[in-house]
Amino acid sequence: MDFPQSVSQPDHISTHRRLPPAPASSSIRGLVRDPLKFFMSIASDYGDIVCYRPAPDTAYLINHPDFVRHVLVDNNRNYTKGTSSNQMFNKVVGEGLLTSEGETWRKQRRMMQPAFHHTRLEKLDGMIVEAAQSTLERWERFYAEDQPVDVAREMAALTMTVTTRALFGVDLGDEVREVGEIVNRAASYLEKPSHPRLIQSAAELSAVVERIIRQRKQDFKDGGDLLSSMILARDDQTGAGMDDQQLRNQIMTLILAGYETTASALTWTWYLLSQNLEALARLRREVRGTLNGRPPRYADLDRLPYTQMVLDESLRLFPPAWTLGRRAIGEDEIGGYYVAPNTIIAICTYALHRHPAFWDQPEVFDPGRFSPQNLRGRNKFAYVPFGAGPRQCIGNNFGLMEAALILACILQHFELHLIPGMEVLPQPLFVLRPSRDLMMSLHP
């Protein structure tokens, strides 16, 4: 791992080396049993910075926007992504943009950025709408047979189709399906990185992705997809492109970072809407008023502000990336407390997004929080569903565009109602998932 050459230190690290408050060491069992509850309760009992010790590490939960900004932005060079969960991710997909560090990361990020430029994203709208419409065609049959749909599963299949088509283009029918099938199989093992089936799926996926890359390079034409853009990318200093292995790692990273997160965001949005009928009605009015029954396009998104606000609020309550982790390189000080080299810093977005000093009635679903006037004056680091600073999500605009187009398309055909009597809890796995199948009935 290549660390940055110079690490900026705060001017003054107090000689007292005061440590943050810490819960009793036995409480660490709660971290394994129910991490969301653990983080919520230590934040509310001990404050905005809390020390806990997941053996063999020392970790600080930071739960204040100023501390988040310090670690992710102002002093980000003192923090790496060298945490155990990132190392697990690395083991599965190889080193890609999500986990690389230092100069390697900077180079990769520069080369990948053009693939996510809005001039490329705006060309993907038709493909996304088409994928949503073929889901709707299947749902018509469910509806005709009075069958509910499992929304979590449906959203995962849909965002997988969208992700693979965005990466590889729409022409690669069979291979794209193969990728989708392998990843869907692998996803259930992603929480157990040493699981033999996950290792096997990763190897299968890697083989298909390598085949696609070789084919694409053979008679290359820019199909407007992300892989084309990545094949064309050149390092602005050396002029070199990415070799096949780098391309493969990046593609695998984008598949895993992009599809389940967006699926989770959509799934929770359907759940929240089913519990908040006023918001649902207002959303439908906006979609109908703006689109008048025709399919949504990229250019319509600016005229669907409430749709965006609903997604923002859903990402507040159920952030798919429910924790962000860093490891300190050198010593530091946060909120007057000493940070020793190697300390793990955890940001639990689920807890931060419910911090009572920054959110009024934090458990209440209220998209109005994200209206332009309400955004003014809020500390923007109280809300980081896509992270912040240089390592902020590269796919945020893509994910939000995809989610908004899919929401609008589906709402033009169906309302989704939760089957009564289902208690749904968030389950913090690789992303924040509902604790059970989310069966919902369809209403035209």
Q: Point out which span in 194-202, 274-282, 357-365, 395-403 binds ligand HEM (CB under 6 A).
A: 395-403
Dump the DSSP string for 145-200: TT--EEHHHHHHHHHHHHHHHHHH-SS-HHHHHHHHHHHHHHHTTTT-TT-HHHHH
Q: Which of 158, 183, 251, 265 binds ligand HEM (CB under 6 A)?
A: 265
- Dihedral, 8, 107, 80, 42 alpha carbons, nearest 10: 110
Cα–Cα distance for residue pair 316/350, rounded to 1 Å = 7
Alpha-helical runs (H) found in 292-395 = 305-317, 349-352, 372-375
Provide, rounded to whole angstroms, the least separation between the CB of residue 315 and ligand HEM. 6
Stretch 69-108: interaction string toward ligand HEM, x if CB under 6 A: ----------------------------xx----------
251: contact with ligand HEM by CB under 6 A: no
169: contact with ligand HEM by CB under 6 A: no
Report which of 195, 230, 192 is spatially closest to residue 209, judged by C-alpha positions: 230
Provide, rounded to whole angstroms, the least separation between the CB of residue 145 and ligand HEM. 32
H helix count then E strand count, the chain: 17, 12
193: contact with ligand HEM by CB under 6 A: no
Provide, rounded to whole angstroms, the least separation between the CB of residue 398 and ligand HEM. 5
> In a 3-state reduction of DSSP, which class is residue 323?
strand
Cα–Cα distance for residue pair 154/159, rounded to 1 Å = 9
62: contact with ligand HEM by CB under 6 A: no
Q: Are strands 344-348 and 59-62 parallel, antiparallel or unpaired?
A: parallel
156: contact with ligand HEM by CB under 6 A: no
Angle at 263 between CA 261 and CA 266, to 5 degrees: 110
Nearer to ligand HEM, 349 or 441 (CB): 349
Q: Are strands 323-328 and 344-348 parallel, antiparallel or unpaired?
A: antiparallel
Nearer to ligand HEM, 168 or 386 (CB): 386
Provide, rounded to whole angstroms, the least separation between the CB of residue 238 and ligand HEM. 20
Q: Point out which span in 16-24, 202-210, 251-259, 436-444 binds ligand HEM (CB under 6 A).
A: 251-259
393: contact with ligand HEM by CB under 6 A: yes
Tell how far CA 345 is from the center of its chain. 19
Provide, rounded to whole angstroms, the least separation between the CB of residue 22 and ligand HEM. 24
**Residue nearest ligand HEM, CB atom distance:** 395
Contacts (CB under 6 A) with ligand HEM, residues 285-314: none
Evaluated on CA atoms 198, 204, 208, 213, the torsion sign reads: positive
The amino acid that residue 75 corresponds to is: N
399: contact with ligand HEM by CB under 6 A: yes
Nearer to ligand HEM, 255 or 442 (CB): 255
Nearer to ligand HEM, 165 or 441 (CB): 165
**How large is the greatest C-alpha to C-alpha distance in the chain, in angstroms?**
71
The amino acid that residue 181 corresponds to is: E
Pair 264, 158: CB distance under 8 Å: no
Alpha-helical runs (H) found in 326-413 = 349-352, 372-375, 396-411
370: contact with ligand HEM by CB under 6 A: no
Provide, rounded to whole angstroms, the least separation between the CB of residue 21 and ligand HEM. 25
Q: Point out which span in 87-95, 190-198, 300-308, 317-325 binds ligand HEM (CB under 6 A).
A: 317-325
> Which parts of this chain interact with ligand HEM (CB under 6 A)?
97-98, 109, 253-254, 257-258, 261-262, 265, 320-321, 324, 385-387, 391, 393-395, 398-399
